[in-house]
Amino acid sequence: MAGKLDGKRILILATNGFEQSELEVPRDKLKEAGAKVDVVSPEKGEIKGWDKKDWGRAVKVDKALAEAKVDDYDAIVLPGGQMNPDTLRAEPMAVKLVKDFYNSGKPVAAICHGPWLLIEAGIAKGLKMTSYKSIKTDVVNAGAHWEDAAVVTDKGLVTSRNPGDLDAFCAKIIEEVREGKHERRAA
């Protein structure tokens, strides 16, 4: 995988309560593929993960949300966990950033409960998606076509269900970033 994403920059948007593996595995695999990866958050310093049933490890925040610009990156990754996307979807700057990435045509990847941000940004309607099973109804009610698959891709929007799908999720993100921009309707 090394070198596949040389020169590419990926933004991972997260806050406290992100699912530990859903941030760390994509971050590490994207770096292994040659990308520069920034963890972006409303908080500065560090954010703390949720590791299955309890608080996990802290992760360094590379850039404050207020400083993040779509033009500086080639893709955005939205880890899940329940708390993380639920908090971020109530943050107008986070929702705007997700919508701006989508409207730019750049790859947008969300796993587990991460699709809540896609719903809040108004970009789920009419697209094929998957998610953690407990938010399937939310995804369907937002107008998406929900599929029970390890990874679902529609016009550069990459979604996966849970940590068990991380290998497929990361491989698809790498493929989409290498392909570049996608034609989309404005959200």
Residues in the chain, how many? 187
Whether residue 1 is contained in a domain is answered as no
Whether residue 144 is contained in a domain is answered as yes
- Catalytic residue positions, numbered: 113
What digits encode the pLDDT tens for the residues 139-185?
999 999 999 999 999 999 999 999 999 999 999 999 999 988 777 65
Contact 109, 169 (CB under 8 A): yes
Number of domains in the chain: 1
What digits encode the pLDDT tens for the residues 33-78?
999 999 999 999 999 999 989 999 999 999 999 999 999 999 999 9
Whether residue 146 is contained in a domain is answered as yes
pTM for the whole structure:
0.96
Whether residue 3 is contained in a domain is answered as no
Whether residue 29 is contained in a domain is answered as yes
Domain boundaries, position 47: 9-179
Going from the C-alpha of 148 to that of each of 87, 159, 183, the distances in angstroms are 25, 11, 25
Whether residue 56 is contained in a domain is answered as yes
pLDDT at residue number 123: 95
Whether residue 184 is contained in a domain is answered as no
What digits encode the pLDDT tens for the residues 102-139?
999 999 999 999 999 999 999 999 999 999 999 999 99
Name 132's bridge partners.
Answer: none
* CATH code, domain with 147: 3.40.50.880
Whether residue 186 is contained in a domain is answered as no
Q: Report how far residue 133's alpha carbon sits from residue 179's, in angstroms, rounded to the nearest whole number.
A: 29
Helices (H), the chain: 20-32, 83-88, 92-104, 115-120, 136-141, 166-179
Contact 115, 124 (CB under 8 A): yes
